[in-house]
Amino acid sequence: MSKRLGKETVSGTPAKQSKHWSIGLLESMRDPECIVKQTKKIVVIRDKYPKAKIHYLMLPHENISSIHKLNSTHIDLLKEFNKIYEEIKIENEDHSLKAGFHAVPSMQRLHMHIISKDMVSPCLKTKMHWNSFTTDFFINYEDILKELKETGSIKKISPDLHKKLLATPLQCNQCSFKPKNMPDLKDHLMSHMNV
């Protein structure tokens, strides 16, 4: 008898994964428990694994899989993104928020992160988590809109740059402190909380 059955069935044959993890957002945006606000064009949900005190995702109802499927016809949609983001900023005046997209998204359906700058959360665990919000891997809303207006599409980054950005040495997003490791960073972030 094995100590752990893992994903194997009783018979010992590997269990097939029925739903791939990358469609998780498509399920969340239909779940009333996750929805924060909604319009004809977009829906805002709570991130299932928030990386800061406030962490929302804004997605279009239209089936756009990622930033790389955007074209000039989507500029109005992005303006709606900004309009709703401005509302959310007013509703969360006590937090400093930023809005943007990951350069290489993992989940299906275009999604804009709306995240507070504290970055205090038990779900923030890895250097990759940190760098995906604090380096150029995080593309600000304004930069996406600008590139779309100027070139009509969003360019993909090279695998080398992707790797380099996520491997950037840890650096506090609020001061010059360079943490030794993730626990060090998380302790340090707490020190920025007291106003």
Partner DNA sequence: GTTCTAGAAC
Q: How does DSSP assign 123-192, residue by residue?
A: T--SHHHHHHHHSTTEEEHHHHHHHHHHHSS-PPPPHHHHHHHHTPPP--SSSS---SSHHHHHHHHHHT
Give whichever of 7 and 40 is closer to DNA, judged by the CB atom: 7
Q: Is 95 an active-site residue?
A: no
User: Which of 55, 74, 111, 113 does the annotation list as catalytic?
Assistant: 111
The answer to whether 86 and 80 are in contact (CB under 8 A) is no
The number of residues making up the chain comes to: 195
Kindly state the smallest distance separating residue 150's Cβ from DNA, in Å: 25
Shortest Å distance, C-beta 20 to DNA: 9
**What number of H helices and E strands is found in the chain?**
6, 6
Tokens of 165: 């950005």
Residues that bind DNA (CB under 7 A): 4, 6-7, 14, 16-17, 21, 24, 49, 102, 105-107, 123, 125-127, 129, 132, 181-184
Q: Which is nearer to DNA, 49 or 142 (CB)?
A: 49
Nearest distance in Å: CB 45, DNA: 13
Smallest separation (angstroms) from DNA to the CB of 143: 17
CA distance 99 to 105: 15
Burial-class residue 195 by CB neighbours within 10 Å (0-12, 13-18, 19+). Answer: exposed
Active site residues: 111
